[in-house]
Amino acid sequence: YSCIGIGASYANIENNNISNTFETVNSFSVYGIVSGDYNVIQNNTINGFDIGIGLSDDWSNQIKDNDINALRYGVHINNSHGSHIIENNNINKYTSADNELVYVVNTDSVVIQGNHCQAIGGDGFYFNNTSVLMNYNLIVSPGRGVEFTNQAEGSIINNTIITLDNADYGIK
């Protein structure tokens, strides 16, 4: 990684204002928070990073009550284990980059509830090979609202999905 605001394991990452003023839309190397295992990431404001919060090969993190303003991904989870909780966050993607607000791939399970998410480019949520419980979220994006691929499974209950600009699917 070339820039990380905070990186930790077994920590409470709370009440921080993490900002990046050097916007790098073409790089995956700029993270607000890179989480390790068993963190509680709560009440933070994260601005100007390619990826607000990144989890790779990590165990059971909680992402709650954060305000995330990212260039590419609000939350990016890849090859993670246990159960991750993404709850009551405001997640905004303020560039037209063709990425998702929340991206979860090859992860045991994720609970995603009560989030308010908006993007001016790309898609809403993407799940691949992951068990998902998703409820009470607001998703506004010009692309697909929610997409499940490659044996992703779970429940989608009481969400509001608004797709802009003649998007092809609300849920695929």
> Is 33 in contact with 5 (CB distance < 8 Å)?
yes
DSSP codes of every residue in 95-113: S--S-EEEEEEEEEEEEEE
Q: Could you count the other beta carbons within 10 Å of the beta carbon of residue 165?
A: 9
Q: Check residue 1 and give its pLDDT.
A: 46
CA dist 27 and 155 (Å) reads 33
Q: Check residue 75 and give its pLDDT.
A: 97
Q: Check residue 98 and give its pLDDT.
A: 87
pLDDT band at 26 (very low <50, low <70, confident <90, very high): low
CA dist 131 and 116 (Å) reads 21
Structure tokens at 65: 């009550």
The candidate with the shortest Cα–Cα distance to 74, out of 24, 114, 124, is: 124
pLDDT tens digits along 108-156: 999 999 999 999 999 999 999 999 999 999 999 998 999 999 988 899 9
The candidate with the shortest Cα–Cα distance to 84, out of 124, 41, 145, is: 41
pLDDT tens digits along 88-113: 999 999 888 889 999 999 999 999 99
